[in-house]
Amino acid sequence: MTTFDAVDVIRHKRDGQALSPEEIAWVVSAYTAREVGDEQMAALAMAIFLRGMTRAEIVAWTQAMIDSGQTMSFADLSRPTSDKHSTGGVGDKITLPLAPLVAAFGVAVPQLSGRGLGHTGGTLDKLESIPGWRAEVSNARLMEILDDVGAVICAAGSGLAPADKLLYALRDITATVDSIPLIASSIMSKKIAEGTGALTLDVKVGSGAFMTDLDSARELARTMVDLGTDAGVRTSALLTDMSTPLGRTVGNALEVRESVEVLAGGGPADVVELTCVLAREMLTAAGRDGDDVEAALADGRAMDVWRAMIAAQGGDPDAPLPVATHTHDVLAEHDGVLTRLDALAVGVASWRLGAGRARKEDPVQAGAGIELHAVQGDRVTAGQRLFTLHTDTPERVERALSSLDGGYDVDPTAADGTGRRESVVLDRVTAADPAPA
Ligand code: URA
């Protein structure tokens, strides 16, 4: 591999030049080997954040991150594979009902997930609230469970795209996370290295997401769909609303409880809608068409897979979920309609209650979080409970309340239904769409 000087590479990007594939391959590999320092990579990440990257640079950067570690293959499985990735949101528990639902139709779902950082929850943190459940699974066991049960949600092994692990931690502390080239290459390097045959992306849009406006979310989706398609993965993306939380619970065990309600044929309409839309997208990408996913929720087929999936990783699907030791109700001050409930305010409040972590080594509280007794568009009366805050550490309640303060409006004059979200899905981006000019 050609060797470069890190300072030259940083200077090129700082001055707005496109980096060559050779420069990119070298800098990512040298950073993974710790020959390029964190301070140099931090400067380069900031230059990329400010200057952007061409499509060719993003392709080279993604490939360099894939090449920094191992790749997996599901080619020997008896079933086709289809995976989903969400860019992260508040109350986004969809992976929990979705993976068993898709597996109920004979399509394998290898869901290599992460823990939460900041105000968006992590899928593994949620599942770890189930007594006995373990996130760590060896590659051999992963294949066994996929063949027997059809769905696995587990921790991504440290061998997949190790450059991304280092870089993501660095971006997190240098205000360089919300850059489209860096997010797209981070997500897609892991998904391509994982070896799934098909991938459905759930790109969140709104206050609780990385992308707060539809145009940036569309650009992120287009970049990721192109990266996946070019790598031979059948990839499509849905853009979905994250201006207000999904469902009626935010927090680890609270979200597991709501996911089980969905698997039992109930649950909030928006969670059911998104689960079913994503399931159809994943099944179509795996070559199936016309499956009645709603029926598989109603008749218990998805629940059967859930129970087997949890048990395969040591969890007891019948064990009571942990509950927080302390609750605090927030009441409506007057009659009216809840016209706005901001996802970011709720996400930060839940995080402050202990559901999320500030540093990656911090523990999370399984029972902490927020129950929403009203959602946007609901009529409420003075004194009615709007939210219940759950925590094991009551001294955190005040800071959580200050995050919620200003994060919702009860309008005494608004008509019923004002602010109600009609559909979670805002748009769809597929490989067939023309590339932007
Ligand atoms: N999720 C990732 O895996 N990487 C990012 O950069 C952002 C979200």
Known catalytic membership, residue 218: no
Known catalytic membership, residue 85: yes
The residue from 290, 318, 346 where one domain ends is 318
Q: What is the CATH number of the domain that holds 268?
A: 3.40.1030.10
**Nearest residue (CA) to ligand 1, atom 6:** 183
Angle at 346 between CA 342 and CA 349, to 5 degrees: 145
Q: What are the residues whose beta carbons fall under 8 Å from the beta carbon of 89, sequence distance 6 or more?
A: 120, 204, 206, 208, 209, 242, 245, 246, 343, 347
Q: Are residues 283 and 378 in the same domain?
A: no
Cα torsion angle, 64, 429, 116, 353, sign:
positive
Q: Are residues 144 and 42 in the same domain?
A: no
The tens digit of pLDDT for each residue in 284-338 reads 999 998 999 999 999 999 999 999 999 999 999 999 999 999 999 999 999 999 9
The string of DSSP codes covering 5-69 is: -HHHHHHHHHTTPPPPHHHHHHHHHHHHTT-S-HHHHHHHHHHHHHH---HHHHHHHHHHHHHTS
Q: Are residues 260 and 344 in the same domain?
A: no
Query: Residue 214 sits in which domain range?
Result: 83-158+171-318
**Nearest residue (CA) to ligand 1, atom 2:** 187
Mutate to test the pocket of ligand 1, among 186, 190, 192, 220 (most ligand atoms within 8 A of CB): 186
Query: How far are the Cα atoms of 4, 119, 403, 410, 411 from residue 44, in angstroms, in the given order?
Result: 14, 26, 33, 45, 47
Flag whether 365 is in a domain: yes
Question: Ligand 1: residues within 6 Å at CB?
Answer: 87-88, 168, 177, 182-183, 186-187
Catalytic residue among 68, 82, 186, 236: 186
Known catalytic membership, residue 186: yes
Minimum-distance ligand 1 atom for the alpha carbon of 168: 6
Cα of 185 from ligand 1 centre, angstroms: 8
Flag whether 148 is in a domain: yes
The tens digit of pLDDT for each residue in 243-289 reads 999 999 999 999 999 999 999 999 999 999 999 999 999 999 999 98
Q: How many CB atoms lie within 10 A of CB 37?
A: 12
Q: 240 - beta bridge partners?
A: 204, 425
Number of domains composing the chain? 3
- Which pLDDT tens digits describe the chain residue by residue (437 residues)? 899 999 999 999 999 999 999 999 999 999 999 999 999 999 999 999 999 999 999 999 999 999 999 999 999 999 999 999 999 899 999 999 999 999 999 999 999 987 776 677 789 999 999 999 999 999 899 999 999 999 999 998 878 999 999 998 899 889 998 899 999 999 999 999 999 999 999 999 999 998 999 999 999 999 999 999 999 999 999 999 999 999 999 999 999 999 999 999 999 999 999 999 999 999 999 999 899 999 999 999 999 999 999 999 999 999 999 999 999 999 999 999 999 999 999 999 999 999 988 776 788 999 999 999 999 999 999 999 999 999 999 999 999 999 999 999 999 999 999 999 989 999 999 997 555 54
Cα of 330 from ligand 1 centre, angstroms: 33
Looking at the whole model, is its pTM more than 0.85? yes
